[in-house]
Amino acid sequence: MGSVSLKIGDGTARFKRATICSSAVNILMLFSVITTNLFALYAFTSSPDHHNQNHLHQPLHDHKNITLISQHVSLILREIDSSQKKLARMEKELLGYETIDLSRPNIASELKLFLQHHQLPLGKDSKTGITEMVASVGHFCEKSADLLAQYMTYKVSSQCPDDWSLGQKLILRGCEPLPRRRCFAKSISKVGLLSFPASLWKPVSDKIVTWSGLGCKNFDCLNSKKLNRECVGCFDLGKGYENQRYVKAKNKNDFVLDDVLALGSGGIRIGFDIGGGSGSFAARMAERNVTVVTNTLNIDAPYSEFIAARGLFPLYLSLDHRFPFYDNVFDLVHVSSGLDIGGKPEKLEFLMFDIDRILRAGGLFWLDNFYCANDEKKRALTRLIERFGYKKLKWVIGEKADVITGKSEVYLSAVLQKPVRVS
Ligand SMILES: *[C@@H]1O[C@H](CO)[C@@H](O)[C@H](O)[C@H]1NC(C)=O
Ligand SMILES: *[C@@H]1O[C@H](CO)[C@@H](O)[C@H](O)[C@H]1NC(C)=O
């Protein structure tokens, strides 16, 4: 188990590839260890009558000759060192941790300009110690060179091509942050935005979001689809279930928001919602004067624009990114099935550690209807959570019909409190 992606899609494929890569690296590693050992064995045991011209393969005339033996040993060590270096190089190539080769023919000139280092005019800055400004770009951009070239070919200072979905494709392939900066994103007039808090539960007009690159062209179409576990009719704020979430429990895995807030004994003021669908969690929290940032990508639907139209804060960021928040700042982190599990267990660990980092001691981690595909995954997740030493304030494992497949599936819901760790 262990892959974590915001909304399945391409992200999952990337982790699969990473797994294949790491098996290749493992095989290489094994191969290298075996060859070095065989080599060492050969060097020590080669018999005197093999007269190779290679110095290393010179026979040991006298086994008591320490000088000779130490020469052999140092040669072997050098050989091991060089194969380790070679292995590191191969691993680097496999994982794609290379700098972008700007001498390649299909590199857009705008990308070259963006990546150029800029020396500070007055030399080294005494406070920060830096001497130049560098632009950052995801290391995996290199692996999607063609898409990147397409994305970075645009007219400076004019309208950007209408291709946000191309940008998102790059993000899902690990090319984040995106290097496009010098054009004007397509703008649409947002007429009819309501003032807060009326904006929280009123329908959003089809006319004020971008539909390019999406299968659906209006919210009715989106509401007729089961987009994912977090969004079945989630753009329908009037009828349907969306406006009952977090206030009415449908089954024992659903916690009522006020009950959870009571566990925080009044200290819940700011929160972070991961994979938060259309933002209804943040909306309910806003009614209780709690500010929540909703993390979402626009997979198959205009989530970000919809959340913003409700007067809430959308954070457009993949879960492979380290959260752009300082340590110990949130009172609450809410996570639901937007976190899909697959691939390597470390993938989920990276995410759990980052959630732990941004949550303050005494803050609440709300795992809300987390879909556990099977028993083994449930156990692994439980083990992982227990390692963090959180206090279990609520812990419910239950079965319910899956909204996507209709089959009965196992879900875990929990409210956990981060402990104070003294080092
Ligand atoms: C040991 O080997 C070295 C290098 O071949 C040689 O110069 C030296 O005379 C040898 N010493 C003895 C004691 O055989
Ligand atoms: C939220 O804040 C407003 C303004 O301070 C206050 O009038 C209202 O009662 C608060 N609501 C809740 C649920 O605390």
296 in the same domain as 344: yes
Q: Does 193 fall in a domain?
A: no
**Domain identity same for 363 and 228:** yes
Say how many Å lie between the CA of residue 49 and the centre of ligand 1: 18
- The two tokens of residue 321 are 């990114």
pLDDT band at 24 (very low <50, low <70, confident <90, very high): low
266 Cβ below 6 A of ligand 2: no
Instruction: Give the pLDDT score at 90.
Output: 78
How many angstroms does the Cα of residue 367 sit away from the middle of ligand 2? 26
State whether 105 and 174 are in the same domain: yes
Residue 98 has pLDDT above 50, yes or no: yes
Higher pLDDT, 252 or 343: 252
Q: Which atom of ligand 1 is nearest to the CA of 58?
A: 5
- Which residue owns the Cα nearest ligand 1 atom 5? 68
How far apart are the C-alpha atoms of 100 and 115, rounded to whole Å? 9
Q: In terms of residue numbers, what domain contains 23?
A: 10-95
The type of residue at 241 is Y
**Residues 333 and 239 grouped into a single domain:** yes
| 328, 286: one domain | yes
Structural tokens at position 239? 């009828």
Token pair, residue 215, equals: 């299968």
Pocket test for ligand 2, best of 246, 247, 285, 289 (most atoms within 8 A of CB): 289
Handedness of CA 209, 281, 313, 202 (dihedral sign): positive
Is residue 119 within 6 Å of ligand 2 at its C-beta? no
Does residue 32 lie in a domain region? yes
CA of residue 248 to ligand 2 center, whole Å: 21
Least confident of 107-116, 255-264, 329-338, 376-385: 107-116
In Å, what is the CA distance from 58 to each residue of 49, 81, 393? Answer: 9, 21, 71
The last residue of one of the domains, among 167, 187, 207, is 187
Decide if pLDDT at 202 tops 90.
yes
In a domain, 365, yes or no: yes
197 lines ligand 2 (CB under 6 A): no
Asked whether residue 1 is assigned to any structural domain, the reply reads no
Residues 181 and 296 in one domain: no
Top pLDDT among 104 and 376 is at 376
Binned at pLDDT 50, 70 and 90, residue 34 comes out as low
> Does residue 49 lie in a domain region?
yes
Shared domain check, 106 and 56 = no
- Cα 166 from Cα 150, distance rounded (Å): 9
Regarding whether 104 and 73 lie in a shared domain, the answer is: no
- How far is it, in rounded angstroms, from Cα 354 to Cα 377? 20
- Mean pLDDT taken over the chain: 83
**How many residues does the structure list for the chain?**
423
Whole-number pLDDT of residue 228 = 84
Q: What is the dihedral of CA 265, 266, 269, 272, to 10 degrees?
A: 30
* Side-chain-facing half-sphere of 98: CA atoms under 13 Å: 16
Among 322, 3, 320, 348, smallest CA distance to 174 is for: 320
Residues 86 and 212 in one domain: no
In this structure, the answer to whether residues 67 and 180 fall within a common structural domain is: no
Q: Which residues line ligand 1 (CB under 6 A)?
A: 62, 65, 67-68
Ligand 2 atom with the smallest distance to the CA of 288 is 13
Question: Is pLDDT of 10 > 60?
Answer: no
CATH number (domain holding residue 305): 3.40.50.150
Q: Do 316 and 397 fall within a single domain?
A: yes
CA 308 to chain centre: 22
Position 284 pLDDT exceeds 80? yes
Q: pLDDT digits over 330-358, tens only?
A: 999 999 876 665 567 777 888 899 999 99
CA 227 to ligand 2 centroid distance, Å: 34
Protein residue with least CA distance to atom 7, ligand 2: 289
pLDDT at 100 over 80: no
Atom of ligand 2 nearest to the CA of 287: 13
Helices marked H in 51-196: 66-95, 109-115, 145-151, 164-172
Among candidate residues 166, 187, 208, the one where a domain is terminated:
187
Structure tokens, 423: 């080092």
85 lines ligand 2 (CB under 6 A): no
CA–CA separation, 117 and 135 (whole Å)? 7
Most confident of 39-43, 96-100, 171-175, 312-316: 312-316
Residues 312-331, mean pLDDT to the nearest whole number: 94
Considering the domain architecture, whether residues 217 and 365 belong to the same structural domain is answered as yes
Separation CA 114–CA 116 (nearest Å): 6
The tens digit of pLDDT for each residue in 392-420 reads 999 999 888 887 778 888 889 999 999 99
Ligand 2 centre to CA of 295 (Å) is 25
Decide if 305 is inside a domain: yes
Q: What is the pLDDT of residues 137-161, one digit of tens each?
A: 777 888 888 899 999 999 999 999 9
CA-based nearest residue to 277, from 259, 300, 260, 247: 300
Q: Is the CB of 379 under 6 A from ligand 2?
A: no
Q: Quick check: is 300 in a domain?
A: yes
* Total domains present in the chain: 3
The pLDDT, as a whole number, for residue 180 is 92
In a domain, 2, yes or no: no
